[in-house]
Amino acid sequence: MKKKVAVAAEATAAYIPVDTDFKWKENAGDISIDENFVAQNFWHDVFVRFFRKTSAVIGLLLIILITVFAIIGPGMNDFGYSDQYLSQKNFAPRVKALEKFGIFDGTETMKTTTGKTQVNYYQEKDMNDLYYWFGSDNFGRDIWTRTWSGARVSLIIAVAAALIDMIIGMSYGLISGYFGGKTDMLMQRFLEVANGIPRLVIVTLLLLVLKPGMLTIIFALMLTEWVGMSRIARAEMLKLKEQEFVLASRTLGANSFFIIFKEVLPNIIGPIITQVMFSIPTAIFTEAFLSFVGLGIPVPQCSLGSLISDGFNSFTTHSYQIIPPIIVMALLMLSFNLVADGLREALDPKLKEM
């Protein structure tokens, strides 16, 4: 044996190849790349599928637009969100360029017992240099500024709550699904109890115990919204945990933590992202609902919900006050739903539409 190895070594030692022994084969014309079935990166595929869907793209553009306005909108004029000018109550919308066309010129039609009259407070009070783009409210606050700062508050609350929900619900569902058996049973019973208590009760109790404000609302939303996410994570885990790659990982000595978060999680990120996108409009709605009931953001801060609630009190007389926040909120919820729909289809084209 030893001898043979030595011989082989001698043979290789005898000749050392040099660069000139090799040359390129001129076969550029022979190589063809299959362009019909190019292998593609998963996320690239998702990207392409998503942008092919018009409704999803429109939704995304709307979200970006509203977010941009929520950031720069309040700074676009000289009014602050809590500035009150009691002499300038209930001014109708007036915009510089548009007033020549007879719209947004600061006039509003008032219905009185004697019939309809046209009122223009800007002229009546001799304030011709004043422009309230969306009008001013009952306390003389600028509705433009308040709408966008309300949108800002609502967006922050919704996104924060959705992200925290994702982390809690996802971990809960993954752990419950992975361990199964007694652990799963206990965790699911707990979930049933948590889910059985009316959401309104939990949220109101919390808001009464803690100080009302943005953080409390986020906390309350977090406590109530994680159930849906955990259900999805658990179902996906049950589907995946019997698969070979999990077994392989376990055979290689991976611990449960590694399998749950490093092996299974990347495989279910699609449904989870979709669920997050769906839970954002729910959070916006719940926040608005709380404000409407009177448990929301404390004054003088505002959110879309509290603006709608304010506008509701005078919506038959000064309907322009409730329209901006309602439109912004409806568009926001609509576009998040459209994007979530598009994402779901893009991430899993086989999944049936629900």
**Binding stretches for another protein (CB under 8 A):** 55, 189, 192-193, 195-198, 200-202, 204-205, 208-209, 281, 285, 288-289, 292-294, 308, 312, 315-316, 319, 322, 326, 329-330, 333-334, 336-338, 341, 352-354
Q: How far is the CB of 105 from another protein (least distance, A)?
A: 23
Q: How far is the CB of 207 from another protein (least distance, A)?
A: 9
Nearer to another protein, 71 or 205 (CB): 205
Nearer to another protein, 256 or 317 (CB): 317
Q: How far is the CB of 117 from another protein (least distance, A)?
A: 18
Which uninterrupted H or E stretch holds 207?
Answer: helix 199-209
Nearer to another protein, 93 or 311 (CB): 311
297 within 8 A of 303, measured Cβ to Cβ: yes
284 within 8 A of 222, measured Cβ to Cβ: no
Which uninterrupted H or E stretch holds 49?
Answer: helix 42-52
Q: How far is the CB of 189 from another protein (least distance, A)?
A: 7
For 308-312, which contacts have Cβ atoms below 8 Å and span 24 or more sequence positions?
310/137, 310/138, 311/137
Nearer to another protein, 198 or 253 (CB): 198
Q: How far is the CB of 162 from another protein (least distance, A)?
A: 15
Q: How far is the CB of 330 from another protein (least distance, A)?
A: 5
Type of residue numbered 229: M
Three-state DSSP state, 37: coil
Nearer to another protein, 2 or 352 (CB): 352
Cis peptide before 300 (omega within 30 of 0): yes
Nearer to another protein, 174 or 308 (CB): 308
Q: How far is the CB of 107 from another protein (least distance, A)?
A: 19
Nearer to another protein, 88 or 306 (CB): 306
Other CB atoms within a 10 A radius of the CB of residue 342 amount to 24
Nearer to another protein, 71 or 197 (CB): 197
Nearest to 146 by CA among 3, 258, 299, 18: 299
Three-state DSSP state, 317: coil
Give me the helix-helix angle, 54-72 and 143-179, nearest 10°: 120
Q: How far is the CB of 284 from another protein (least distance, A)?
A: 9
The tokens for 21 are 């022994």
Which string of DSSP letters, residue by residue, matches 57-96?
A: HHHHHHHHHHHHHHHHGGGSSS--TT---GGGTTPPPB-T
Which string of DSSP letters, residue by residue, matches 213-263?
A: SHHHHHHHHHHHHHHHHHHHHHHHHHHHTTSHHHHHHHHTT--HHHIIIII
Q: How far is the CB of 194 from another protein (least distance, A)?
A: 8
Nearer to another protein, 76 or 185 (CB): 185
